Amino acid sequence: MSTSEGISLPGNQDPTPPREKHKQKPKRGRKKSKAPKQTRCAANTMDAKTTASYFSVCITGQIVSATFPLGPDKEFVFLRYELVAGPDWQLASGPQHGLTQLATNRSGHFNEPIVFNMPIEVTYKSTSPFGWPQILVSVFGRNGSQGRETLLGYAHVHLPVFGSRRPAENLELVQTPILMPKCPSMLADITSWLLRREPELKDPKVLLDNLKCKGLSMESYGSLEFQLTTVMRGARKLGYHWHA
Amino acid sequence: MAEVHIIGQILKAVDFAEPHLYCKWCLQSGNAWRLVQGEVQGQSPVASHRLQNCSDFVQPLDIHLSSAAIQGWPRLLVEVYAVNVLQQSWPVGYGFAHIPTTPGAHRLEIATWKVAPSGWWQSLRERFGGGGAALSKTDLLFSGVERYKLQTLTSGKVIVDLKLIFRRFEDYGVEFK
């Protein structure tokens, strides 16, 4: 059975540890180029001892823009994104963190979307859909080139699951609200107004956990738009159904 | 064993009268269903919107269940609580919805209800005293057994976005079309 052909994506490093590579080579009998441009999916049908079966998900798209209905609080806005996934997931290619440019909509109307156009191209390998990767974006703002960077909010969304949206909907933007943490008490509110310091979460991954975000108080203002599509491989063979 | 993956978010609550809301949710299923991975209950942070009258919870859901029977199909129970300036909280909406029975992307709108105040003192306490009446036995939420004694009012809606992945149901002869 012909199994893994490499998926060639530019800029890929082959992340499989050298031990695994030696295991697969003699059984294939095929010449695989060791060029860093190929990612090898560890298909298991040749090797009876390893029973893990992978499917891989390649997500391509961009963070399109941020929209604030009454204009952003600061002049320049930039984003820092991070991809968070469960324990079974392995990032096969693509960056896990990223930082966008400083963008503004100063010259246009105040509630025009602030366009980032930040590409996201990642490939994940996993044995189970639990812990589906999410993208967690922190939005920061700055007034002019000498100002201090302050937090404008956080946003998080699951990356599109398999190809579950209908093809007509894929071109629409996924919108997520931007949530800004508020001060926990009135004294903290007064202190932050006097010192001009906004509260920030020490570890924004707390927002992705269901029980740890219990006492927090957030205010939502603005939304982020994403355009993401998925290509997957090997999931139907493992018996997963995701279409109606 | 057939498996179900529920991946999604409890997005927002709309049409509630109070601005600061948080949501306590839990997923219940019958005896034949086992939780493999994930958490079946959670609580969102208190959320409000600067301009509109809605609350964006954006609470992620990621649950992996395995089932031996179709009875006891899982359902999502949602309780929306309001918070006032003095940090007192009281329930303003109870609701539940069954997880859809076809795989794919779904958007559920859970309509909620709350306990109606039974006199003028109760309605005064609801406005100024930190909250109206709450259910003492929360299994009234999903069972229809003793509901005839209850008086309720309609409350807002909770919008949930779910993507479902099913596995190995056809080995047992279960069809979804």
We report the CATH number of the domain holding residue A135 as 2.60.40.150
Q: Which residue of A has its CA nearest to B7?
A: A132
**Average pLDDT, integer, range A9-18:** 43
Average pLDDT over residues A12-20: 44
- What's chain A's average pLDDT? 77
Tell which wins on pLDDT, A11 or A137. A137
**Contact, B82 vs B119, CB < 8 A?**
no
At A79 the pLDDT is: 93
For residue A73, give the nearest of A231, A186, A219 by alpha carbon.
A219
Instruction: Tell me the residues of chain B between 74 and 113 that have a Cβ less than 8 Å away from chain A.
Output: 102-105
Of A129, A211, A214, the CB nearest to B5: A129
Q: Give contacts of B43 with chain A, Cβ < 8 Å.
A: 210-211, 213-214
Question: How high is the pLDDT of residue A170?
Answer: 59
Q: What is the DSSP string of A49-109?
A: S-----EEEEEEEEEEEEE-TT--SSSEEEEEEEEE--TT-EEEES-SEEE---B--TTS-
- Residue A34: what pLDDT? 45
Which of B43, B58, B103 is opposite residue A211, by nearest beta carbon?
A: B43
User: How many Cβ pairs closer than 8 A exist between chain A and B?
Assistant: 119
Determine the distance in angstroms separating the CA of B68 from the nearest CA of chain A, rounded to an integer: 17
pLDDT exceeds 60 at position A47: no
Domain B2-172 = CATH 3.30.420.40: no
User: Which residues of chain B have a CB within 8 Å of the CB of A53?
Assistant: none
Residue ranges covered by each domain of chain B: 2-172
Task: Compare CB distances from A244 to B55, B102, B167 and report the shortest one's residue.
Answer: B102
H/E element, B176: none
**B7: nearest CB among A132, A155, A243:** A132
Q: What is the mean pLDDT of residues B57-67?
A: 92
Is the dihedral angle over the CA atoms A99, A209, B100, B102 positive or is it negative? Answer: positive
What domain range includes position A72?
55-238
Q: In chain A, what percentage of residues exceed pLDDT 70?
A: 74
Q: What chain A residue is nearest to B177 in terms of C-alpha separation?
A: A244
Backbone angles phi, psi at A185, to 5 degrees: -145, 170
CA atoms within 13 A on the CB side of B162: 25
Partners of residue B39 in chain A, C-beta under 8 Å = 210-211
Q: β-strand B152-167 against B2-14: which pairing, if any?
A: antiparallel
Per the CB < 8 A criterion, the answer to whether A218 and A176 are in contact is no
**Chain A closest CA to B65's CA: distance in Å?**
10
By three-state DSSP, how is residue B87 classified?
Answer: coil
> Of A134, A217, A242, which is closest to B45 when you measure between CB atoms?
A217
Average model confidence (pLDDT) across chain B? 87
Report yes or no on A12 lying in a domain. Answer: no
CA distance A188 to B83: 18
Q: Which residue does chain B place closest to A210, by CA atoms?
A: B42
Least confidently predicted of B51-55, B90-94, B136-140: B136-140
Strand B89-98 versus strand B75-83 pairing type:
antiparallel
Q: Does A124 or A41 have the greater pLDDT score?
A: A124
- This complex has an ipTM of 0.85
Tokens matching residue B159: 């919008």
Mean pLDDT of A136-157: 89
Q: Does A183 fall in a domain?
A: yes
- Residue closest to A115 by CA, chosen among A153, A79, A64: A64
Grade residue A149 by pLDDT with cuts at 50, 70 and 90: confident
Task: Name residue, tokens 């006492």.
Answer: A215
- DSSP per-residue codes, A171-204: GSPEEEEEEEE--SSHHHHHHHHHHT-----S-G
Cβ distance of B166 and A240 shorter than 8 Å: yes
Q: Residues with Cβ < 8 Å from B97, sequence gap 6 or more?
A: B75, B76, B78, B108, B110, B160
Which residues of A are less than 8 Å from B55 in CB distance?
Answer: 220
Rounded Cα–Cα distance for residues B92 and B88 (Å)? 13
Q: Do A238 and B167 touch (CB under 8 A)?
A: yes
Taking the CA atoms of A243, B4, B9 and B10 in sequence, report the sign of the dihedral they define.
positive
Is A176 inside any structural domain? yes
Cβ contact A75:A33 at 8 Å: no
pLDDT band at A169 (very low <50, low <70, confident <90, very high): low
Cα-Cα-Cα-Cα dihedral of A46, A48, A50, A55, to 10°?
A: 50
Pairing between β-strand B41-43 and β-strand B2-14 as defined by DSSP bridges: unpaired
Q: In this predicted model, what pLDDT tens digit does every residue of A82-110 receive, in sequence order?
A: 999 999 899 999 999 999 999 988 888 88
What is the average per-residue pLDDT within A145-162?
A: 87
Rounded mean pLDDT of A29-51? Answer: 43
How big, in percent rounded to 5, are the helix, strand and coil portions of chain A? 10, 40, 50
Mutation pick from A83, A242, A243 vs chain B, by most beta carbons of B within 10 Å, is: A242
- Give the DSSP letter of residue B85: T
Is residue A167 domain-resident?
Answer: yes
**C-beta atoms of A214 and B45 within 8 A:** yes
Tens-digit pLDDT profile for residues B41-59: 999 999 999 888 889 988 9
Amino acid symbol at A191: T
CA-to-CA dists, residue B116 to A3, A17, B5, B119, B134, angstroms: 62, 63, 37, 9, 9
> Could you give the number of structural domains in chain A?
1
